[in-house]
Structure formats: C-alpha cells, structure tokens
Structure 1
Amino acid sequence: MKRTILFSVITLLILSTSCAPTTQITATWKSEEAKSGYNSIYIAALTEDLQIRQNVEHEFASRLQNRNVSTTKSIDNLTPDFFDSGEPSKDKILEAIKSTSSEAIMTITLIDIEEEERYIPGGQVGPVFAPMGRFGYYGNFGGYFNHWYGAGWNQGYFTTDKKYFMETNLYDASTLELLWSAQSKTLNPSDIDSFSKEYVDAIKKELRKEGLVN
C-alpha cells in the first residue's frame, strides 16, 4: 500500500514537472494611453532567420484569430522581393504597414542568449532489496561486480542550460508610441515549434490579462 502511494506521488511530480512551461514573463509595462481590445494587429518578428520569423508570426496570427483579432504578418506584407532594390527606408516600411489599416504593431525581438553549465550528480541506483546468497549476484565476485558496475552506479555529468530572453512590444499604428512591453525568458526550448507555441501562449495570456485583446 505504501509503495503504491509513493509511486503515485512520484508519478504526479514527474508529470507536473514535465508539463511545466519553460517560458516565463519576467517584466511588463503598460502605457496609460493603451486602449482596451485591439481588433487588428500587425505582427513583426525582427529576425533574419526566416524559419523562426515564419513560425512565431504564424503562431501569433493563429492564436489571436481565436480571440477575434485580425492580423497581418510581416512575412506576408514585407516579402523578400520588397528588399530587392536594397534596404528600404523607414518611411517605406511604415507606408507598407499602414496600408494594412492595423490598429497596433507588435514587434518580437531576441535580446540575449545565456548559457550556463551545471553538474548533474550521479549515485547508486537499483533495487532497494537485493537478492543474497549463492543464487543472487552476491554469490560470487564477478556477479556482484558486474551488477553494481554495469547498472548500480550512475556517474554524474555536465549539461548546458540555454536561456533565451525575448522582448515583445506593442505600438500604436497611428502615433507609433509604445503602448505595452513585455520581457520573457525561455529555458532550453526543444525545437522551434514548441518554443513558438509556449512563447506565444505566455504573451497572449499577458495581453488578455492587460485587456489589450479580448
């Protein structure tokens, strides 16, 4: 009975840890000029990596559409051929953004990456109650050695944690004034897809909390 209860507790702890979000909002700021319930937002992930830009902007567009917010993705509005004639001026970019009639502009930027090495200690593993006597692995030195050397001792190792720090800003499309800003930290994202979903989910919750989207 005690073993069953212990196993259940351990299982719950593992599940709760594995399901815990890796993205955390670390700071937010909101202007007094910000209004409630923006209905149209222009989304711009400011990165040269087209895959990250596409994934993040698509995830934002999909999630905000569920909140009845129309969106325009920069990857659709500012296509690669937009830059064929060289680096466009700020006025030309703003003209392209304003042509979408968006109420607000959201920018997503990676501001820093930190790497931290940490040591994972090892230790003995294996059954608590070991068989003894002639027919257990205690019966001879070879069996005893093979058991504990091969399965019973787990040596420690080093691993590197990666922390990605993002900044998300919301601007008024008419005045270009900053309305809202959030900084977030993502720990060890497994891939671009999972990172995009967790990051966008965390930001969307803050936008709803602040009343910026319905």
Structure 2
Amino acid sequence: MKTSIRRSSQKLLYVLACVVMAAGMYSCAPSTQITGTWKSPQATSRTFNNVVVAAMTDNVQARQTIEDQLQQQLQARGIKATKSIDLFPPSMMSGSESPADMMLDRITSDGFDGILTVAVVDQETDTRYVPGNTAYAPVSRFGYYNTFRGYYGYMSPTLYQPGYYTKEKIYFLETNLYETSNENLVWSAQSKSYDPASLSSFADTFSEITVKKMAQENIIN
C-alpha cells in the first residue's frame, strides 16, 4: 500500500512538473513578433542617423507611447530620434489641409535623413479553446474519505474543471522607413501582436524587436 501511494505521489509530481514546464513555455512565447522584412536593393550601403518616428494613429496616448519607446530604442544605439508628436502635435495635424506636405517640408528643413512610420494595417479575433484541468487527491485522514457518498460529494467539484473558449485579438502592423531626400521606401517590416496585455508592454516589446531587426539588417549602425 505504501509503495503504491509513493509511486502515485512520484507520478503526480512528474505530471505537475510537466504542466509547470509547459505553462512556462507557453507564457514565454513572444506575444509580438516580426513576420517578414523587405529592404530596397539601393539601400545596401545606406544607414540612418537622424530619424523622425511617427505612429500613424489618431489615438494620442498610443501615438505618444509607441513613439516614446521607438525613440528610446534608437537613442540607445546612438541614433538621433525625434518623435513626430513633438514636431506635429494633434492640433497642428487636424488643422492642416495637406499634412504630408507640411510634415515633409519641416522634416527636410530640420535635416532629418529618415522617417520611420508605424501603422496597424489589420486586426483579427481568434477563438481558442482552453482545456480544463484535472487533479488527483491522495488518501488522507479526513472523514469524508470514509464513505463513497462523502468522498464523491466533497471531491467531485475539484476533480474536474471544464474547459472554455476565449477570444484573442491579433493586430497586424507595418513599419516603414522612408528616405527624406527622395521619399523612397528603404525598409519595411511586417509584425503581429497577440492580445497585448497593455499598450505600454506592447510598445516596449515592439520597439525593441523592430530596432534590433533594423540593426541586424544594417539599416542603422
């Protein structure tokens, strides 16, 4: 009897360890990732050192947060970066008949060599099934173990937890880098983000992986 209980306990510990490892692996899966990039053949020897970052959204908080994080990541690599919200506040943008022309005039005259834009190009809702949990309770000294009725009545609610369906938002983003002198597209990246926990955490992760990819592809030093 003792041997059987010990084996059951060892088996339970093994299963729990596997569950913990699986949960850790799932939670560590990247919620935001780059799915593809493109680089102009004419940009092989061109690097950028003075960039305007522009999040293309009318949500002022999202624009501020994303541009903040991109600016920090670029500056950490020695790149001068300026947020578009500092150059072109929302009040200025809403009152301009041709914001693109107005922005280019200012960006060119201020000596910027690149414009880095970020935009959400699509979004989807994904329905995912989360399986239920089962549990094993070893024999103990408590009274409800003494009869089937008492044991079943007490333990059955905890032995099985049914699964459920959950919905997750998937956001598809596009990041483009344009050369100021000729307005040509130099580099582009496609990304997707799975149900980000918060705007801040998304902006932090997105900016880090984007700027890292730009460095890996020799877009910036």
Same fold (TM over 0.5): yes
Secondary structure, aligned partner of 1:33 = helix
Query: Matches of 1:157 and 1:10 in 2, distance apart?
Result: 18
1:61 is matched with which residue? 71
CA contact (8 A) 2:144 2:150 kept: no
Query: Matches of 1:89 and 1:51 in 2, distance apart?
Result: 20
- The worse-fitting range, judged by mean Cα deviation, of 111-120 and 78-87 is 78-87
135, 143, 153: which is aligned to 1:145?
A: 153
* 1:205 is the counterpart of 2:212: yes
Aligned residues: 211
> For 1:7-156, what aligned pairs fall within 5 Å after superposition?
10-34=19-43, 35-83=45-93, 85-127=95-137, 130-131=138-139, 135-137=143-145, 139-149=147-157, 151-156=158-163
State the superposition RMSD in angstroms. Answer: 2.4
Letter of the 1:148 partner, please give it: S
In structure 2, stretches of 5+ residues that fail to align are 1-8
1:157 is matched with which residue? 164
Secondary structure, aligned partner of 1:213 = coil
CA contact (8 A) 1:42 1:73 kept: yes
* 1:172 is the counterpart of 2:182: no
Structure 1 residues 18-55: Cα deviation after superposition (integer angstroms, max 9, x where no partner) = 23321121111100121343111111100011111111
CA contact (8 A) 2:128 2:168 kept: yes
Query: Matches of 1:71 and 1:140 in 2, distance apart?
Result: 71
Query: Matches of 2:101 and 2:27 in 1, distance apart?
Result: 46
- The worse-fitting range, judged by mean Cα deviation, of 42-51 and 130-139 is 130-139
Q: Percent identity?
A: 34
Query: Matches of 1:85 and 1:18 in 2, distance apart?
Result: 45
* Displacement after TM superposition at 1:126 (Å): 3.3
1:185 is matched with which residue? 192
Query: Matches of 2:38 and 2:142 in 1, distance apart?
Result: 71
CA separation of 1:10/1:153 partners in 2, compared to 1, >3 Å: closer, same or farther? closer
CA separation of 1:113/1:66 partners in 2, compared to 1, >3 Å: closer, same or farther? same
Query: Matches of 1:210 and 1:170 in 2, distance apart?
Result: 13
